[in-house]
Chain A
């Protein structure tokens, strides 16, 4: 098991009245791709800036490789950041940009030349040395920023929504590039994004954050399949979240209809939340499902149809490759293991979980 490289202990940060991070604890292991995921304003960028040294926490400490670096200046930290808007130096050529950290370290000219070449090759931009920053496209700028970030071989690379400004196709390409880079270089990546798809694609570990709290830490599969609360369920992918009552183990009553499920240990007749992913709902002929409804809306999404089915007073979101025209009556069926049961939030903190985007 890899050792802890970064350990954040009891980090709190507020700007005036506004509490951004509240007593946060998190560790990052060596050679891990960890993603801080959450809506804007959740504190993820602030956390990244605290790790980078651009902000200092009000309380708590940042431990890096066993040493407390909470008050260390950013230029003394062995980690580099790739900024959302690239942070490239417009008045320097591409080679000068990439050579910047090496020049500060007073490396020899030939060493710098080799390193720049190598870094450009890594990001698939060989031969770009003499180009100017202005002549690059957004994706190319992003790659240069990454090349500059890794050329001095930091232990950790912090990435602040680096793909946010790119178009969809480019973003997907870059996601693969980043994974490849991480595997080739063996550098720890801490990645900040609000795009759940990005997080699911690239990460070894995802940290879902909201309103200064960590909501859930886990692998992409854990986060997607077993969200621990309504916020995570709603934020990761599309979800139907229903208020429900746990009749007894393995039986839940959703909107008056009883569904079989696999969850146990919630007690008898306890109010809970039930989460059903839209792709997990099967539409069957009327009367053959657990309850019946009417299709009220339909959109073609390419891979599947996105439909809205009104049943028992609720709108159910359904993804299906089969098409049912608006107005047609359908039956709804869900396999027991596709239903995820969550406890109702009890504490005030948990209740504060609201998507503010």
Chain B
């Protein structure tokens, strides 16, 4: 009975561990494209997987990086382990600790630090940087598996070899190395496994156009999971599974019985270790090389365009349409914030062809001579961009020569008509005691100071200490009335009728109005912040003409409309705005305010580090009072 229960327990654990993987494997043979339906067994996803050049390239890159990084890390790691083992116990444990830390360190920290290091040393992010990163994180694993073997080896064998007349090098390769070989081999396989497995570090150290399977899958999955991905994941699982079996059955285990089956078993294991595995590697690299060079031929470097954009900031359809119409191959990369994007451009580590930064960042890039002028003869569709937006752009691009507006929005007050009966047209309503504990402010320095500065009639880019102090005092005065300083929750709380008034971005306001018809958005009469994200071409772009074609394509009203529907931020393309089907949105004052309202608005400007610090200091005073 007891046995029976323990068997059930074991079965449960195995089911829990492997059920997800089994599901994946089963789905990879499902001929129906949706997960919900079983359409019969098929191998077609595997076939189409092997016909997908992008994936096959990623597969080849993954294998090459795994093998190369494992080989190099094994050499370095083994040498390091031997060096470490020669130290006294205390030094040894310090060194082992130091080498173990990168392994325990969060991958994301390792990834970001490696990226920063590469950028600092002006490495071009790409294949080489991924390789270096993988070598770096593989070395500790090799050391970890070689060190115990060294500890086990009889120290006197090395001395014995020397004693019998062997030179130190001969003694190492003939005597020490064969002894630690099982550790070296399992370190090598462990390194391959870790390399195949890695996503985060690769994500941070890769350049545009280079993908390993993991980053490829990640970017594919964001667009919606294709069944080929199930097939690919199944293959990856099996590969790692087989590698792990190889690691765990390394030759040292059968030493005990070796003298019985002796020479035969030895020959077989020797054959596997010395011939089969290296031969397989060579074959993989050569075949992969053929496939790679063949597929690479189709990508003419002149027919390429490297785009660097915000995440989820373009309709994927638009990219394929562009590729089809122009025959230009788009390499598409995404960034999360302006601050992540900026160092990649300024370091020159990667030559992007077209980038979409925000207003203040464009100003900074122009100032630092990072952008090249756009040839507007090649961008005739610029005529569809509303003149008011070109005028607004002059705040950060004074001659309108460097940027083409793509998306924009304002900051204003969102209020609940059921709770606020009076007319809302001024920032000062946020200081009205009636709405105590019903006001939501943005938990961000520049946004909060913009509200206070504007309500006092100053510029939201003020660099006047008196004005800033006045704004600070005004924010402190407001503090007892504020329910909370939040960011994303403004949206949810306003939808849920939890507050009467909130400072919000127009793009989000459109969304809240769909969810709760009682909400109204207004740009106060004192003026506010308008933000614009525009396309620019960096100085080191290699395909400037393609970049201009791309910008021109995006300015086409039908394309701009597709993007507007996908992104839902306001479009500066007035002819696209006219094509919007839903009259509520087409005429929405939130999405498309009157030009005169916009005239009172300013974009944020880059104020320099000194004022960044002053703003932050004052904001801290506000928050701590």
Contact = CB atoms under 8 A, between A and B. Distances in A.
B277 to A, nearest CB: 18
A189 B263 CA distance: 36
B157 A100 contact: no
Interface stretch (B47-55, B160-168, B561-569): B160-168
Nearest to B260: A135
Contact of B164 (A90, A104, A130): A104
Contacts of A73: 162
Given A87-B156, A91-B178, A75 B259 contact: no
A81 B163 CA distance: 7
B256 A81 contact: no
Given A100-B164, A104-B164, A83 B159 contact: yes
Given A75-B162, A81-B159, A100-B161, A91 B259 contact: no
B179 A90 contact: yes
A83 B160 contact: yes
Contacts of B171: 75
B170 interface: yes
A298 B163 CA distance: 49
Interface string A72-95: 011101001101111111110000
A175 interface: no
Interface string B136-166: 0000000000000000001011011111111
B259 A132 contact: yes
B255 interface: yes
Contacts of A90: 154, 157, 179, 255
B175 interface: yes
B165 A101 contact: yes
A148 to B, nearest CB: 7
A54 B158 CA distance: 11
Nearest to A104: B165
Given A54-B159, A83-B160, A130 B263 contact: yes
Nearest to A81: B163
Nearest to A82: B160
A31 B162 CA distance: 24
B163 to A, nearest CB: 5
B166 A100 contact: yes
B258 interface: yes
Contacts of A86: 154, 156
B23 interface: no
Contacts of B162: 53-54, 73-75
Contact of A52 (B163, B256, B263): B163
B262 A130 contact: yes
B179 A91 contact: yes
Contact of B157 (A54, A87, A105): A87
A74 B175 contact: no
B164 A134 contact: no
A131 B163 CA distance: 23
Contacts of A83: 156, 159-160
A229 interface: no
A75 B258 CA distance: 32
B148 to A, nearest CB: 16
A148 B259 contact: no
Interface string A149-186: 10010000000000000000000000000000000000
B153 to A, nearest CB: 9
A132 B258 contact: yes
Nearest to A92: B178
Contact of A80 (B164, B256, B263): B164
Interface in A79-121: 80-81, 83-91, 100-101, 104-105
A91 B270 CA distance: 11
A74 B163 contact: yes
Nearest to A49: B159
A134 B259 contact: yes
B179 A74 contact: no
Nearest to B160: A87
B160 A134 contact: no
Nearest to B176: A89
A102 B194 CA distance: 43
Contacts of A88: 154, 157, 160
Interface string A42-66: 0000000000111000000000000
Contacts of B165: 75, 101, 104-105, 152
Interface string B262-280: 1100000000000000000
Contacts of B256: 134
Contacts of A132: 258-259, 262
Nearest to B251: A91
Contacts of B178: 89, 91
> Interface centre among B161, B163, B255, B263, by most A CB within 10 Å?
B163
Nearest to A78: B165
A282 B258 CA distance: 60
Nearest to B178: A91
A134 B258 contact: yes
> Interface centre among B162, B170, B262, by most A CB within 10 Å?
B162
Contacts of B154: 85-88, 90
A153 B168 CA distance: 21
Contacts of A131: 259
A87 B159 contact: yes
A301 to B, nearest CB: 36
> Interface centre among B154, B164, B256, by most A CB within 10 Å?
B164
A53 B259 CA distance: 35
A80 to B, nearest CB: 6
A135 B259 CA distance: 6
A160 to B, nearest CB: 9
A91 B181 CA distance: 10
Contacts of B157: 87-90
Contact of A81 (B160, B167, B263): B160
> Interface centre among B167, B174, B178, B179, by most A CB within 10 Å?
B174
Interface string B423-449: 000000000000000000000000000
A305 to B, nearest CB: 43
A75 B167 contact: yes
Given A90-B179, A91-B178, A135-B259, A75 B156 contact: no
A120 B389 CA distance: 96
A54 B162 CA distance: 9
A148 B161 CA distance: 11
A292 to B, nearest CB: 56
A46 to B, nearest CB: 14
A161 to B, nearest CB: 12
> Interface centre among A54, A77, A87, by most B CB within 10 Å?
A87
Contacts of B262: 130, 132
Contacts of A152: 164-165
Contacts of A104: 164-166, 170
Interface in A230-266: none
Interface in B442-461: none
Interface string B244-263: 00000000000110110011
Contacts of B167: 75
A131 B166 CA distance: 23
Given A84-B156, A89-B178, 9 more contacts: A75-B163, A77-B163, A86-B156, A88-B157, A91-B181, A100-B174, A104-B164, A130-B263, A134-B259
22 contacts: A54-B162, A73-B162, A74-B159, A75-B162, A75-B163, A84-B156, A86-B154, A86-B156, A87-B160, A88-B154, A88-B157, A89-B157, A89-B160, A89-B178, A100-B166, A104-B170, A132-B262, A134-B256, A134-B258, A135-B259, A148-B164, A152-B165
Please list the 9 inter-chain residue pairs (A to B) with the smallest Cβ-Cβ separation, ordered nearest first: A87-B160, A87-B156, A101-B164, A135-B259, A91-B178, A83-B156, A132-B259, A74-B162, A104-B165
Interface of B: 154, 156-157, 159-168, 170-171, 174-175, 178-179, 181, 255-256, 258-259, 262-263
